[in-house]
Amino acid sequence: MIQADGLPGDAETRSAPSPLFPGDTAFEQAEKTEGDVNLSPRRTAFVAAEHNQDTRDWLARDQAVFFRQSLSTPCLNVLSGAHGAWLTDLGGRRILDFHGNSVHHLGHGHPAVVQAIRRQMDELPFCPRRYANAPAVELAELLCAHSPCGPSKALFAPGGTTAVGMALKLARAATGRFKTVSMWDSFHGASLDAISVGGEALFRKGAGPLLPGAVHVPPADPGRCLFRPDGDCASCGLRCAAYIDYVMEHEGDVGALVAEPVRATTVVLPPPGYWQAVRDICDRHGALLVFDETAVGLGRTGRLFACEHFEARPDMVVLGKALGGGIMPLAALLARADLDVSPDKALGHYTHEKNPVACAAGLAALRVILDEDLPGRAATLGRRLLGDLKTMGARYTAAGSARGLGLALALEVDCPGGDADAALAIADRVLYECLARGVSFKVSGGNVLTLTPPLTISNEDADLAFSVLDAALDTATDCNA
């Protein structure tokens, strides 16, 4: 067990000034956005206290050959196995995975996906672009049959970021307009086109010129509303949506609104009626509505598509992460079939866009999701766990709101008096306490504990993870520490 505070960190982590938040450390800069563990001042102490020399040697070798970057390298552990809801590290310790980078809807190494990959590798391991192949066609047919866009066609890509890029290209081709509206604090990938429509400072600041015409608006966040600070959405009149209407009216030539229907990392849910209002606004201004469901789609929220909760039909939807069954990199763009208007343009044109092995994995994963009703499983278990999370949060002074939709769950650390630095430090202590006890999750936005278990997790494993979280909160949630 590591101590909760007073731990040393890397010198550069403790002292590096932040260009985004003057006076903050580099850790605080990163943790206030997507957030993760590599810049925490506790990482070095955790590695020293929890790992054997073999693991530390591999971590050193990893850091020596990979460029260091926020939210990634340096790493905090070395894995040797992943099965179901569990990870195994090089030292033999088992870790419940409530993070999974949102790829592990089926858990790790699901037998149906593994078998499909092995079979496809023996039969047709690669398919040049000029040829069709059965797994790609069958996966596209199954996705389009369930598309929230209505009658649809598909494009595949190796990752969600590239699928977002295809959506931007298709919106330009279909509307003849290049401007987009998207939300501050959103995330749509890390390439230059994706960070142009994304809204996180960590990815945008210092990157130089981005795509022209990328207009941003405040997100629909009831807990941090700029238009109604008291959070009274019922009497607000959806000013956040009215602001989008105002922007589109004055810009005059917006081609698409790009948004996460549910903010994935912090699990922020829009106020009632928001997406229906935005759908109407897009229709009036001739803009396409593009939902990025890379992280929250394919059943995590309790519906196959997150947007189905909000009765707002998109013109396009982006899928990724879990689409590859937690093994293969694969993403998809689904869009209204009548948007097939650019046969003379290269919307994707990726070498592996119809990779038969990746598509076989995706087809097997989607069949498991549908046949085993994993969205229904996420809805049922998610309701119980959200209730447990609210009960747990009520016991601790520093625990704020608990929220969730299906198995996308979050508990916000919120110290009395709004001490943001104390909340950030507590969230970090809770994370490392849980890691030391064998539970992994993500800290987002600096103070949000984000819990995304596999949709296949057993009730017993879910309860075990929550008992570990409860114990960590009990240890680490003194705002005066």
**Mean of pLDDT over the chain:** 90
Q: How many domains does the chain have?
A: 2
Rounded average pLDDT over 147-161: 97
Token look-up 């985004």 returns 20
Angstrom distances, CA of residue 153 to CA of 164, 341, 354? 15, 12, 14
Q: 15-24, 39-48, 168-177, 426-435: lowest mean pLDDT where?
A: 15-24
Asked whether residue 21 carries a pLDDT value surpassing 60, the answer given is no
Rounded average pLDDT over 168-185: 97
- Does residue 255 come out as left (phi exceeding 0), alpha (psi in the -120 to 50 range) or beta? alpha
Q: Which pair of tokens denotes residue 10?
A: 């890397």
CB proximity list for 60: less than 8 A, separation 6 or greater: none
DSSP-based three-state secondary structure for 448:
strand
CB contact at 8 A, 236 and 225: yes
Q: Give the whole-number percent of the chain exceeding pLDDT 70.
A: 91
Q: Which pair of tokens denotes residue 171?
A: 């919106």
344-373: per-residue pLDDT in tens?
999 998 999 999 999 999 999 999 999 999
CA 438 to chain centre: 22
Q: Which of 355, 371, 387 is the last residue of a domain?
A: 371
Domain shared by 233 and 298, yes or no: yes
Asked whether residue 78 carries a pLDDT value surpassing 50, the answer given is yes
Least Cα distance to 440 among 470, 398, 469 occurs for 469
318-353: per-residue pLDDT in tens?
999 999 999 999 999 999 999 999 999 999 989 999
Rounded average pLDDT over 443-463: 96
pLDDT at 39: 72
Q: Of 456 and 12, which is predicted with more confidence? A: 456
- Does residue 286 come out as left (phi exceeding 0), alpha (psi in the -120 to 50 range) or beta? left
Does 96 reside within a domain? yes
Q: What confidence category does residue 20 fall into, taking pLDDT thresholds of 50, 70 and 90?
A: very low
Domain shared by 272 and 360, yes or no: yes
What whole-number distance in Å separates Cα of residue 439 and Cα of residue 45?
18
Does 13 reside within a domain? no
Domain shared by 342 and 249, yes or no: yes
Domain shared by 245 and 335, yes or no: yes
CB proximity list for 400: less than 8 A, separation 6 or greater: 393, 411, 412, 413, 414
Domain shared by 444 and 356, yes or no: no
pLDDT at 12: 29
Q: Which pair of tokens denotes residue 325?
A: 């069954």
pLDDT at 9: 31
Does 1 reside within a domain? no
Domain shared by 145 and 277, yes or no: yes
- CA dihedral for 233, 216, 306, 263, sign (positive or negative): negative
Q: Which pair of tokens denotes residue 183?
A: 């939300």
For the domain that residue 94 is a member of, what is the CATH number? 3.90.1150.10
Domain shared by 181 and 285, yes or no: yes
CB contact at 8 A, 434 and 468: yes
Kindly state the DSSP code that residue 299 receives in the 8-state scheme.
T
265-277: per-residue pLDDT in tens?
999 999 999 999 9
Q: What confidence category does residue 3 fall into, taking pLDDT thresholds of 50, 70 and 90?
A: very low
For the domain that residue 255 is a member of, what is the CATH number? 3.40.640.10
CB contact at 8 A, 320 and 330: yes
Asked whether residue 384 carries a pLDDT value surpassing 60, the answer given is yes
Asked whether residue 223 carries a pLDDT value surpassing 90, the answer given is no
pLDDT at 35: 59
What whole-number distance in Å separates Cα of residue 349 and Cα of residue 129?
8
Structure pTM? Answer: 0.91
Does 383 reside within a domain? yes
- DSSP E strands, 254-299: 254-259, 288-292
Look up the domain containing 259 and give its range: 111-371
Domain shared by 224 and 325, yes or no: yes
Q: What is the pairing mode between strands 86-89 and 94-97? A: antiparallel
Q: 24-38, 277-291, 424-438, 455-469: lowest mean pLDDT where?
A: 24-38
Domain shared by 319 and 439, yes or no: no
Q: Which of 351, 371, 391 is the last residue of a domain?
A: 371
CA-based end-to-end distance of the chain? 18
Q: What is the pairing mode between strands 179-183 and 254-259? A: parallel
Residue count of the chain, please give it: 481
Does 12 reside within a domain? no
Q: Which of 371, 392, 413 is the last residue of a domain?
A: 371
CB contact at 8 A, 450 and 36: no
Alpha helices in 314-437 (DSSP H): 356-371, 374-394, 420-437
